[in-house]
Amino acid sequence: MTVLRVATFNLLHGMALDDGTAGPERLAEALAELDADIVALQEVDRHQERSGGADQAAVAAGAMGTDQWRFLAAVHGVPAPVSGWLPSPGTPERHVYGPAQNGEGGPAYGIALLSRLPVLRWRARRFPAAPLSLPLRVQGRPGLTRVPDEPRSVLAAVVQGPNGPLTVLAAHLSFVPGWNVSQLARIGRSSADLPQPQLLLGDFNLPGRIPQAVVGRRERGAQNGQARRHRVRWRSLARVPTYPSYRPRVQFDHVFGHGLGPDAVRRTETVRLGVSDHCALVVELRV
């Protein structure tokens, strides 16, 4: 029986909490230490000055020893002085980048999905930003900062597993209450046509048991005799606090599964790495 090690990690653009720097070397060390077969990354920089101009998805892939990866840009631009983003002029049409686009495009920010298993096909979906901002605690700033939401996205890979294809989805959902719940439910509906088993990894910005309540509830029957819309019902594979990394108290980072056996989970762990205010969440699966 094969053990598959999957992880999700909000890397806070690779910033180290001890000195506030974000260099590619420390990011590579963190991903090498994680040593996972499939990794979903959130808050990933591409060609940003604050993180040394690195393509962080490519750096992470190099540390994992794989060329099977994609970066999905939520924003093309640079961080604004106070909050939000300043869009880059001439935003490129290509918003999904991989090894073939090495060095292309200006500064961007988004999510990435990396796999040591062969990827058969990729699929991306985007969600618009919520039209409001919320006061949040921002790393490196005192008190609360009003932060506008940003476009959100989900990146799916159908990979060749030990016993056939399986689907892995990586997501970073809105921090706006209600919007994140709606996005999670929509991912469940839109992924129903993808191969099973399925894994959903990411920072949902939803604490504890709330995501399970969203994806586990039954669909209500449609009115006027119309057919129900099918969706995937995932179950949580790990319930453990992941944030903040220096003293975890809340779980924002989740690994969900669908179509797996009841004894599929071999082990779960949180890993505090040298970067980010989140712990990485790791689940080892028997497949």
Mean pLDDT, rounded, of the chain: 90
Domain boundaries, the chain: 3-286
Model pLDDT, residue 94: 67
For 236-260, the pLDDT digits (tens) are: 999 999 999 999 999 999 999 999 9
Positions of E strands within the chain: 3-10, 38-46, 68-79, 85-87, 96-97, 108-115, 119-127, 133-136, 145-148, 152-161, 164-172, 198-203, 235-236, 253-258, 265-271, 280-286
Band of the pLDDT at 147, cuts 50, 70, 90? Answer: confident
Say yes or no: domain 3-286 is CATH 3.90.1150.10: no
The mean pLDDT of 19-24, rounded to a whole number, is 92
For 180-214, the pLDDT digits (tens) are: 999 999 998 999 999 999 999 999 999 988 999 88
Band of the pLDDT at 114, cuts 50, 70, 90? Answer: very high
Most confident of 51-65, 95-109, 126-140: 51-65
